[in-house]
A and B are shown apart, each in its own frame.
Chain A
Amino acid sequence: MKSFKTLGLAAALMISGASLATAQTALEGGQEVDMVLLPKFLGILVFDQANEGAQEAHAELENPGDLLFVGPTPENSVAGQIEIMTTSATQGQGAVMLSNNAGDQIAPAAQAAQEAGTRVVTWDSPIPGGEGEDVFVAQVDFGSIGVVMADMAHSILGGEGQMAVLSATPDAANQNAWIASMQEVLAADEKYAGIELVDIVYGDDQAEVSYNRALSLVDQYPDLGVIMSPTTVGIQAASKAMQDEGLCDQVKVSGLGLPSEMVSYTMNGCAPEFALWDFRDLGYLTYYTAYGLATGQLVGEIGESFTAGRMGDYTIEEDPGRPGAKRILMGPFTVYTAENVEAAAQ
């Protein structure tokens, strides 16, 4: 029944000419394949949301196999991710869906998993060198995040002032790529000439560390106007720090945050603007991709297109940020302000 519906949808799309370039694969549900969703570590809301999305797709595709959501502890993230990747290959899992926190250190374990027949799909954060990875499901175009962050800083600072970045861990491939892209945007466009990026610090994606880093930034740079935090943990901790110390008139917080966690700070003016994509959708799309690869319905070649349930059509393409690697671009993302944050936080 389900597959008839998806087939019908694909046929309709082909007739409408939406996918003239390549053959459109309509993924057939019901095949049994065990899969693992492996976040950077457990206990972070966005990863739980990604799991909800993956579970939704799991139910929709009527996969009789298991979808496991397992991850390491924050202190043991790198070794823990390598261990789970290795164990998944031993267990004969069909696919591992990885939000990578181990840099290139996970590449040998991921390659060994591939050799054992396990497909490796990364999401949220890829393997920097692209080795050991079938395809990366990118939440948004990494280059466009730089533009959005630069624009938010521009709007908060009124075109002129000092900005500091509060990131996650120093080796988080996604955050580093976004910061680099923002630096390029700032340097390239005359519009941002008045914005000075004074420092980049790391809160390790831990609330307490990020909170203290935010406060020490204020001490260190008395003229600081905005803290830009491209991580949901950092932006919330920095907003709380500014609110607790009564600094919100002086220093604003922006970056990538969750509406449900940020709503109070946006309404009281501590974090007037921030952006994000939907992690449920990211988990959902990642599951469809991994399912297609693990069941052999997708090969993983550039140019291959498929229909990901309610989210529509996607194509595997070359990753512009990582030569030789492949990605599927989800996009776009939403900028939240006092006008729309309350509705999104529900």
Chain B
Amino acid sequence: MTLLARLKSWEGFLLAALVAIIIANATLSPQFLTLSNQINLFQLSIEKIIVALIMTFIIINAEIDLSVGSMMGLAACAFGFLFASGVPAGLACLLVLLIGALGGALNGLFIAWVGLPSLVVTLATLIGFRGLARVLVEDRGITGFPDWFDALGQRGLVGDIPLALILFAGLFVLFHIVLAHSGFGRKTYLIGNNREVAAFAGIDTARHKLILFTLSGLVAALAGLLFAARVGAVRGDVANGFELDIITMVLLGGVSIFGGRGSLVGTLLAVLIVLNLRNGMALLNITGHIQTGVIGILLIASVIAPRIDPGALLRRRAGRAEEGPTG
């Protein structure tokens, strides 16, 4: 892809928008470019953007996982419950990751082998995981976690950079390589474009989907643990409604809800746009309903804009034919 073509693409548009937002923020708020604000900007939404990475795979695969917010809540609450029951925090973390993988595999089994739509299965587990989380902690908040656990969520691990941000960066690089440059990534696009054709080509589509949903549960559980460490306390409503923020960021990044198209670079750009926009508005004391409204309008525009631009439509037709892992 030439540089010019890249600039005309959706990703190019996102990049231009991001640069405009960053320039506006830096001009309007003297604190914007400080290191501590840049870290806070990520930290305040770090759990969502980590889950957005795996959600990119799921949606490119022409599926959806609505249960990630509830799984984050379940993971945080299960950690609180285990810790309050006397299980050492380190062991509790491992058990929680296991719960995440099992919960994700449960989704995967019903979707891949029973053949139910992921919308239905993960809607059910959205309610089920949340219910389980609320049963575990009831109407109380659990706090008083060990210092090392809280410190991992709240303090810098390398200099001022906290663990969660390092994990996000590491997972982004790893996932990008897998999606764009590996056989697994190629299969993710192929199955997302047309599952029947992929099956004819000899791909075990059920196994592929099981792996993706198991990973989704595992990453969501990790994100739930990071949330518990960051806020130092858990209760039943942790991460309530996060799934919608996560999915909208992925869609804004240009990943097609019908599957087969998109990239992690697009998701990253969308994440940066939403985070910088939120942070810029917060620094200008624009909060609450207006902030929600502005981001809502941006998302509507992002869904509609590529559809009414005939050039984009043509490019997409052309892109379909030669769709490869580079997206």
Docked complex Cα distance between A91 and B40 (Å):
12
Q: Are B288 and A72 in contact (CB under 8 A)?
A: yes
Across the interface, which residues of A come within 8 angstroms of B11, CB to CB?
none
CB-based contact B288/A87 at 8 Å: no
Contact A73:B292 (CB < 8 A) given known A87-B282, A87-B283: yes
Interface residue ranges, A against B (CB under 8 Å): 41-42, 68, 70-73, 75-76, 78-80, 82-84, 86-87, 90-92, 102-109, 112, 128-129, 170-171, 202
- Decide if B233 touches A107 in the complex (CB within 8 Å): yes
Q: A82-B44, A90-B34 given as contacts; is B292 within 8 A of A68 (CB)?
A: no
Are B282 and A105 neighbours in the complex by a CB distance under 8 Å?
Answer: no
Given A108-B153, A128-B141, 6 extra CB contacts under 8 A: A83-B282, A84-B287, A86-B40, A105-B234, A107-B231, A129-B143
In the complex, chain A residues whose CB is within 8 Å of the CB of B283: 87, 90-91
- Chain B positions within 8 Å of A91 at CB level: 31, 283
How many Å from the CB of B135 to the closest CB on chain A?
13
Chain B window 236-256, contacts with chain A (Cβ cutoff 8 Å), 1 for yes, 0 for no? 110001000000000000000
Given contacts A91-B283, A103-B235, contact A42 B288 (CB under 8 A): yes
A171–B153 Cα distance when bound, in Å, is 22
A104 adjacent to B289 (CB under 8 Å): no
B209 located at the interface, meaning its Cβ lies under 8 Å from any Cβ of chain A in the complex:
no
A68 touches B143 (CB 8 A): no
B260 CB, min distance to chain A CBs, angstroms: 33
Per DSSP, chain A at the interface is helix
- Contact of A107 with B31 in the complex, beta carbons under 8 Å: no
| CB closest residue in chain A, given B279 | A87
The residue in chain A whose Cβ has the minimal distance to the Cβ of B235 is A171
CB distance from A271 to the nearest CB of B (A): 26
Asked whether, in the complex, the Cβ of B289 is within 8 Å of the Cβ of A73, the reply is: yes
Residues of A within 8 A of B140 (CB): 171
Interface residues of B in 40-62 (CB under 8 A from A): 40, 43-44
Q: B142: nearest residue on chain A (CB-CB)?
A: A104
Contact B36 A71 (CB under 8 A): no
Chain A residues closer than 8 Å to B150, beta-carbon distance: 108
CB distance from B99 to the nearest CB of A (A): 21
Name which residue of chain A comes closest to B289, CB basis: A73
Q: Give the shortest distance, in Å, between B161 (CB) and chain A (any CB).
A: 15
Complex CA gap A144/B304 in Å reads 57
Q: Is B139 an interface residue (CB 8 A)?
A: yes
Shortest C-beta distance, A165 to chain B (Å), equals 12
Give chain B interface residues in 221-279, CB to chain A under 8 Å.
230-237, 241, 278-279
B193 within 8 A of partner (CB): no
On whether the beta carbons of B288 and A105 are closer than 8 Å, the reply is no
**B285 near A: Cβ within 8 Å?**
yes
Question: In the complex, A68 Cα to B283 Cα: how many Å?
Answer: 12
A90→B292 CA distance, assembly (Å): 21
A91 to B279, CA, bound (A): 11
Contacts of A105 in B (CB 8 A): 141, 231-235
B37 on interface, CB distance cutoff 8 Å: yes
Which residues of A sit under 8 angstroms from B139, Cβ to Cβ?
170-171, 202
| A107 neighbours in B (Cβ, 8 Å) | 143, 231-233
27 pairs of residues in contact across A and B, judged by CB atoms under 8 Å: A42-B289, A68-B285, A70-B288, A71-B288, A75-B241, A76-B292, A80-B288, A83-B278, A83-B282, A86-B43, A87-B40, A87-B279, A87-B282, A90-B283, A91-B31, A91-B283, A103-B143, A104-B232, A105-B231, A105-B232, A105-B234, A107-B143, A107-B232, A170-B236, A171-B235, A171-B237, A202-B139
**Which residue of B31, B153, B230, B232 is within 8 Å of A92 (Cβ)?**
B31
Which of A80, A86, A112, A171 meets B141, CB within 8 Å?
Answer: A171
Chain A residues within 8 Å of B292, by CB: 73, 76
In chain A, what residue has the closest Cβ to B37?
A: A90
- Cα A290 to Cα B205 in complex, Å, equals 61
| Distance of A138 from chain B, by nearest CB (Å) | 20
Residues B273-301 near A (CB distance < 8 A): 278-279, 282-283, 285, 287-289, 292
